[in-house]
Amino acid sequence: MLDGGAEAFLDHELLEYMLGLALPRIDTKPLAKALIAEFGSFAAVIAAEPQALVRVQGLGEGAAAALKFVQAAALRSLKAAIVGRPVIGGFQPLIDYLHAAQSHGINEQVRVLYLNAKNILIRDEVLSDGTINEASVHVREVVRRALELGAAGLILVHNHPSGDPTPSRADIVLTGEVVAAAKLFDVAVHDHVIVGHVGHVSLREQGLIGRYQNHSTHALSHKVGQQSRRDTNVGLFFLISLTTAVTRIAPLRYFLEFGLYDFDTIRLLRSNEVAMSFLFLSVPFKDRREEIYIH
């Protein structure tokens, strides 16, 4: 091990050595081979859920915990390569970390990487754990969290348990909706990365983020259909604001009771920070599906 390094070992040999540390005085070669046969690779073994690991005969909770410690150490080492430095300029270390973290998951998992104005990672958060073929995403929560953290940009990430990272139509639509919603608050969506078993797809590299932005911006709207209706909504808001003139929040309450809020209205109220933040972040949209399922 010290002379040849880990590359000198086959997957089952490396796993055998690690199991030997957790299970002394036991021949761990059959167990290591059984684990590789069950999960397919060393990386898949340490990424497996503990419940799945202990179903393999001969592997108890202690040994399963030891394997999860190995995974945690590997992820921490890979994450160290992207912390404190711009992740956009050095994309490969980010991909290495994301692949280790998500490529072998049996369920879809959505994470968001929040970045500061220098594109340095400030928070890495799992947003949603789904099923084998879908996960739900609340667009509003993605943007709300960005504002809470003071993030200037974000990267969406999710895995495809099937192993094929090709984006689905739902993946593309979600990306466009997050791009359009984040733009209202000057938060940039730098990319949406889909991780497969042996590769990844960057929607920015595919040209899909910009391509679908206008379509998704329209999908976010209330679909009132006529500019005159939107102008009436805004005019009514300011009329109520002027007539009440008690606080800056009271007019919003009346405006919301009339059910006249939507993304088009928010865009037209872009200069009113209180109205914009309250409408978008505090109140559910009546005629819009906030929860989107990606596949």
Q: What is the DSSP-derived secondary structure letter of residue 186?
A: T
User: Between 210 and 254, where is the model more confident?
Assistant: 210
* pLDDT at residue 274 greater than cutoff 90: no
Residue 73 and residue 91 share a domain: no
Per-residue confidence at 6, pLDDT binned at 50, 70, 90?
low
Write the Ramachandran bin of 74: left for phi over 0, alpha for psi from -120 to 50, otherwise beta: alpha
**Element housing 142 (H / E):** helix 139-149
Contact 153, 178 (CB under 8 A): no
CA angle 162, 165, 168 (to 5 degrees): 90
* pLDDT at residue 67, as a whole number: 94
pLDDT of residue 85: 86
pLDDT digits (tens, 9 = 90+) for 94-119: 999 999 999 998 899 999 999 999 99
What is the signed CA dihedral for 75, 76, 80, 83, rounded to 10 degrees? 90
- For residue 72, what is the domain's CATH number? 1.10.150.20
Same domain as 231, residue 215: no
Q: Which of 77, 99, 130 is the last residue before a domain boundary?
A: 77
Burial (CB count within 10 angstroms: exposed 0-12, middle 13-18, buried 19+), residue 32? buried
What pLDDT does residue 121 have?
A: 94
Q: Evaluate if residue 288 carries a pLDDT over 90.
A: no
Q: Could you tell me the residue range of the domain that residue 200 belongs to?
A: 84-220
Residue 38 pLDDT > 50, yes or no? yes
- For residue 213, what pLDDT is reported? 52
Query: Which residues lie below 8 Å from residue 239, measured CB to CB, with a gap of 6+?
Result: none
The domain total for the chain is 3
